[in-house]
Structure formats: structure tokens, C-alpha cells
Amino acid sequence: MKLFVDCKKAGHLCDKGQYKDASLFDKLKVRFHNMICKPCADYSERNAKLTKLIKDSKCKQMSEDCKKRIREELARELQKGEA
């Protein structure tokens, strides 16, 4: 296990960190890398902002049930149109 990682790996771990898929050690690696790498530090900052933005927006998804219902309804209507 090495503490210092390259940019590609740091970016990957940073992405994972946005989803709670990164371990504490992973996060530490990103921190260390970011100290010596400005572009990656910027990327991390932007990435974190995006995560916060999506969280704040309380983006809602339509329920799968409802989507299914509408899909079926549309399919029925389309068939009617063709007949």
C-alpha cells in the first residue's frame, strides 16, 4: 500500500469519495496528492461542490411504478394510433 498516487488514481478515488465508496485511507491518499498537485486539488473542489449541489437540490425522481404505468399507457395509445 502506498500513500502517494498518480493523478488518475487520485481522481478516481475522489470520485469514489463522493459516494462514500472510498475508505479513510483512500481519502488520505487524495489529500496528500492534492497538496502537491493543483489541478487535482481543483478537481476535488469542483467535485465536492457538485455533490453538495445535487444534495441541496433535493432532486426528485418519479417513482418507477408511475413511469411504468405511463410507459404502458403511451404504448397502448400508440398501438391504437397504428390500428
Partner 1 sequence: MADHQLDPTKWVDKYSDYLYNYTIVKVNDKDVAEDIISETFLAGLKSMKYFKGEASERTWLISILKRKIIDYYRKINSKKGKAEVRVNYNDAEEGGDWLEERVADPFDRTAEDDLENTELGVAIYACIDKLPEKQAAIFKKKTIEGQDTETICKEFNITPSNLWVIIHRARTTLASCLEENWL
User: C-alpha cell of 32?
Assistant: 496528500
User: C-alpha cell of 40?
Assistant: 487535482
**Least Å distance between CB 27 and partner 1?**
16
Residue closer to partner 1 (CB basis): 4 or 21 = 21
Contact call for residue 83 and partner 1 (CB under 8 A): no
Site string for partner 1, 9-38 (x = CB under 8 A): --xx--xx-xx-x-----------------
**Length of the chain, please?**
83
Q: Which of 1, 24, 59, 83 binds partner 1 (CB under 8 A)?
A: 59
Q: Are 29 and 14 in contact (CB under 8 A)?
A: no
